[in-house]
A and B are shown apart, each in its own frame.
Chain A
Amino acid sequence: MLRRAIPYIAVTAVAAVGAWVLFIGLPRWYQPKPVVETGAATPRPTGPERKITATLYFISEDGMSLTGAQREVPFGEPVVEQARRIVEAQLGAASEPLASAVPGGTTLRGIYVTEDCDAGGAACRRDAFVDLSPEARTRHTGGALNELFTIYAIVNVVTVNLPAISRVQILVDGNEVDTLAGHVDLRRPLEKNLTWVRTAKEG
């Protein structure tokens, strides 16, 4: 009797496990997990003096590329806090002869990092969502090259300095946007792209 029931029990058990995997396990694994949100309201305690060196991106003297410039940036932990410090530095003024790629007056409203891990949790992809103030659009002077420089200054400053983050999506005033100035597709996270960077002057 019991021997006869074994196949049924086994099938039922496999079906139950399958159903759990299908309806509960998979959605849970694949759901993006917001890890931390940072903002001025919740600063994490960090050593007041501690700094890191980060590469920031500005428009080159000839206007034809982004140029990496190394700057001291306050240390932050965890990664999302460090990302916030780096992007804030990126939004600051450029020093001559470089020019800022981001419209003046643009501030960082918030930054979020999601983690998307494979089934075993061995490999995770982290995407950063950089929420800029409306000036990023309203004060943008337009032109595809200007727009590419604005976007890839931000995408690259995060992905180059924080290799744990593989993609960056830019939001404006808390919302997803189609474009900043009518050209570059911002509906999905963008990967690092050093096509727009000339590395000769780096450092």
Chain B
Amino acid sequence: MSAAATLTAVLAVAPIGQLQAPPPYTVLSKEGRRPLAVRALGGHEMVALEDLARLFDLTVREDALAGGLTISTKTQTIALTPGQGLASVGGRMVSLPAPPTRDGNAWYLPLDFIPRALGPALGSRLDLRRPSRLIVAGEVRVPRVTARVEPQPGLARLTLTVAPATPHTISQEANRLLIRFVADALDATLPASPSPDLIQAIRAADTGVAIAIDLGPRYASVRSSEAPGDRGASQIVIDVLAATTGPAPTTAGPVSPSAPADPPPLLDPAPPGGLRTIVIDPGHGGDEHGARGPQGTAEKDVTLAVARRLKGAIEARLGARVLLTRDGDRTVGLDERAAVANNNKADLFISLHVNSSVRASVSGAEVFYLSLADYGDQAQQIAKAGREALPTFSGGTREIEVILWEMAQARYIEQSAVLAQHLEASLRERVPMSPRAIQQAPFRVLVGANMPAVLVEMAFISNPEQEKQLSGNAFQLSLVQAVVDGIVRFQDDPGGPAPAGQASSGAPN
């Protein structure tokens, strides 16, 4: 707020005599956030025309003779008459809740002037959101988030209604759950929690694009789900489960009779056939930088950043254990990466990479799974046969699994194809895809993985625009959300949407 406007605000006390100091509004546009001071005049919230002129690049002329005001944008003119709650926008009349009010040298206009007259004159949307004191200018993503907490036996259920549905990630850091949205700001209405033992507080965080949930002392675990809501909204449901027996018992006596009859599980167990352990492999690392962008961004740094976010998001959404093949900038051999997954009996292995091309224009994500063709007949036989009968000393035979460790992936090729299809579908909803979206290749890191395994090329770092995106929050969160969605789809539908091996591995033409 300028010094001049402050001065007029102070001077205004005398003639109008009704000065309060309502909190300022925030104007959100592509250029960022700017405050807009408001005053209460005659029972209406009013803004200084001078402030509007500066914010929206307007030219103001005052016709001393007729006593009118003319406000010009680059293309249109708004005419105002003192004492009348009307504005003429390019010849069309719109009503205003209060007339323009003069105070000393300054003119004040009611807030509704902004969406009703200024927006149409500028040819862009100006959205006035009184509860959150926001003015949203143009195509800025500001979803409305309303929260509701319902205490239930053994848990507190937090329902966030997000309109329109907006990509987000949920991560947990100690006793805090963070829901981060891919948005420029949030228009959030957050209530006080009625179950402070499970949810202490719900508040805005992370410069206004995230909601933090402080977990209470009785919380044991968290599970979350998402469902589409009405009119393009989505509902995020977060259940904060209580520990079964209140505060830590000190004696080995019988369990308190007040324990709920149907105690919720301490940990959210994976459903039958669910995913318990997932290994995420951030590609390259240490001496191996991987590909580099024109601005010098290294593949190894991007893959690690996304992998760390993905770990938090999978843990929060699926309750699965997530291991990273590296959680730092170190060199890890390709065999060692698959070994992390094999030794931990992982249910899924997802290797994250970014792509590079000699052509700067190439862009888009790609999902790879192993091609057996390059491993000869032996691999094909492993894929088909699986078990081998061995004679035993007592006579008869015993079936055992004989797998060449270095070709372990051959047994899972169909499941890997299904996983790739689900991931491709969920990525396509959130990030640009390459014309070769699903492919097969003899990738060294996949061949030894003894579980469904894919390699995701998240974008082309050789493309200057994608290099910028890869380093930014919004794109990383979209990627994370897409991969989590793909994993959930695979868990729900491991049979796959189409016969395996029918991936579009051919050339684009």
A binds B: yes
Question: Which residue from B283, B359, B373, B443 sits with its C-beta under 8 Å from A99?
Answer: B359
B444 x A144 contact (CB < 8 A): no
Flag A154-183 by CB within 8 Å of B: 1 or 0 each.
Answer: 000000000000000000000000110111
How distant is the Cα of A160 from the Cα of B299 in the complex, in angstroms?
Answer: 34
Q: Is the CB of A184 within 8 A of B442?
A: yes
Question: B174 within 8 Å of A by Cβ?
Answer: no
Residue of B nearest to A148 (CB): B441
Indicate if A190 sits at the interface (CB-CB under 8 A): yes
By the criterion CB–CB under 8 Å, are B508 and A142 in contact?
no
Stretch from B151-159, B198-206, B348-356, B411-419 that touches the partner: B348-356
Question: Are B443 and A191 interface neighbours, CB within 8 A?
Answer: no
Question: By the criterion CB–CB under 8 Å, are B444 and A195 in contact?
Answer: no
In the complex, the answer to whether A142 meets B291 with C-beta atoms within 8 Å is yes
Complex contact A141–B358 (CB within 8 A): yes
Whose C-beta in chain A lies nearest to the C-beta of B351?
A183
The residue among B299, B359, B441 with the most chain A CB atoms within 10 A of its own CB is B441
Is B361 in contact with A141, judged by CB distance below 8 angstroms? Answer: no
Chain A residues contacting B442 (CB-CB under 8 Å) are 184-185, 190
A193 at the interface (CB under 8 A from B): yes
Q: Name B461's closest neighbour in chain A (CB-CB).
A: A143
CA distance A179 to B445 in the complex (A): 10
Residues of B within 8 A of A143 (CB): 290-291, 299, 354-357, 457, 460-462
Q: Is B509 an interface residue, CB under 8 A from the partner? A: yes
Determine whether the beta carbon of A200 is less than 8 Å from that of B509: yes
Pick the residue among A64, A184, A188, A191 that contacts B508 (CB under 8 A): A64
Residues of A within 8 A of B461 (CB): 143
B359 is contacted by which of A63, A179, A185, A186 (Cβ under 8 Å)? A63
Q: Is residue A36 contacting chain B, with contact meaning CB distance below 8 A?
A: no
Residues 37-51 of A, flagged 1 when their CB comes within 8 A of B and 0 if not, give 000000000000000
Tell me the nearest residue of chain A to B288, going by C-beta.
A182
| B334 x A178 contact (CB < 8 A) | yes
The CA of A186 and the CA of B375, in the complex, are separated in Å by 11
User: Is B436 an interface residue, CB under 8 A from the partner?
Assistant: yes
* A62 near B361: Cβ-Cβ < 8 Å: yes
* Residue B453 at the chain A interface, CB threshold 8 Å: no
- B443 lies within 8 A of A64 (CB): no
Question: How many A-B pairs fall under 8 Å by CB?
Answer: 114
Known pairs A183-B441, A183-B445, A188-B375; A142 contacts B289 (CB<8 A): yes
A169 to chain B: closest CB distance in Å?
11
Q: Does A29 sit at the interface, judged by CB under 8 A?
A: no
- Least CB separation from A60: chain B residue: B359
Within 8 A of A (CB), among B353-394: 353-359, 361-362, 366, 368, 373-376
In the complex, the answer to whether A144 meets B368 with C-beta atoms within 8 Å is yes
Is there an interface contact between A195 and B358, defined as CB atoms closer than 8 Å? no
B148 at the interface (CB under 8 A from A): no
A63–B362 touching, CB < 8 Å: yes
Chain B residue contacts of A183, Cβ below 8 A: 353, 441, 443-445, 455
CA distance A178 to B337 in the complex (A): 14
Secondary structure of the A side of the interface? loop
CB distance from B211 to the nearest CB of A (A): 37
Residue from A145, A185, A188 in contact with B457 in the complex, judged by beta carbons closer than 8 Å: A145
Contact of B356 among A145, A187, A190 (CB under 8 A): A145
Judge if B255 is at the interface, Cβ distance under 8 Å: no
Known pairs A144-B443, A144-B457; A62 contacts B356 (CB<8 A): no
Cβ contact within 8 Å between B362 and A144 = no
Give complex CA distance A115, B488 in Å: 49
Please, how many residues of chain A have a CB less than 8 angstroms from a CB on the other chain? 33
- Hey, which chain A residues are within 8 Å of B361, CB to CB? 62-63
A179 touches B362 (CB 8 A): no
Is A65's CB within 8 Å of the partner chain B? Answer: yes
Partner of A179, one of B292, B334, B355, B368: B334
Contact A198:B441 (CB < 8 A) given known A143-B291, A179-B334: no
> B357 near A65 (CB under 8 angstroms)?
no
Which residue of B334, B356, B444, B447 contacts A142 across the interface (Cβ within 8 Å)?
B356
Q: Find the A residue at minimum CB distance from B508.
A: A64
From the candidates B374, B443, B507, name the one contacting A190 in the complex (CB within 8 A). Answer: B374
Q: State the CA gap A64–B439 with chains docked (Å).
A: 13
Query: Once bound together, how far apart are the Cα atoms of A63 and B358, in whole Å?
Result: 7
Residues of chain A within 8 A (CB-CB) of B260 are none
Bound Cα distance from A178 to B331, whole angstroms: 15
List of B residues within 8 angstroms of A73 by Cβ: none
B33 to chain A, nearest CB (A): 37
List, in ascending order, chain B residues with CB within 8 A of A185's CB: 374, 442-444, 447
User: For residue A193, which residues in chain B have a CB less than 8 angstroms away from its CB?
Assistant: 373-374
Alpha-carbon distance A99/B289, docked complex (angstroms): 24
Cβ contact within 8 Å between A198 and B507: yes
Tell me which residues across on chain A come within 8 A of B358, comparing CB atoms. Answer: 59, 63, 99, 101, 141, 146
Pairwise interchain contact B357-A195, C-beta atoms closer than 8 A: no
Closest 3 CB pairs of A and B: A143-B356, A63-B359, A142-B291
Can you report 16 A-B residue pairs in the complex whose CB atoms are below 8 A from each other? A62-B361, A141-B291, A142-B289, A142-B299, A143-B461, A144-B355, A145-B356, A145-B362, A145-B457, A178-B334, A178-B444, A181-B290, A182-B284, A190-B374, A190-B442, A198-B509
B interface residues, Cβ below 8 angstroms from A: 283-284, 288-292, 299, 334, 353-359, 361-362, 366, 368, 373-376, 434-436, 439-445, 447, 455, 457, 460-462, 505-509
User: With contacts A64-B435, A146-B355, A183-B353 known, what are 18 further pairs, Cβ within 8 A?
Assistant: A63-B358, A64-B508, A141-B292, A142-B289, A143-B290, A143-B357, A146-B358, A179-B444, A182-B283, A183-B445, A183-B455, A185-B374, A185-B444, A185-B447, A188-B374, A193-B374, A195-B440, A197-B507
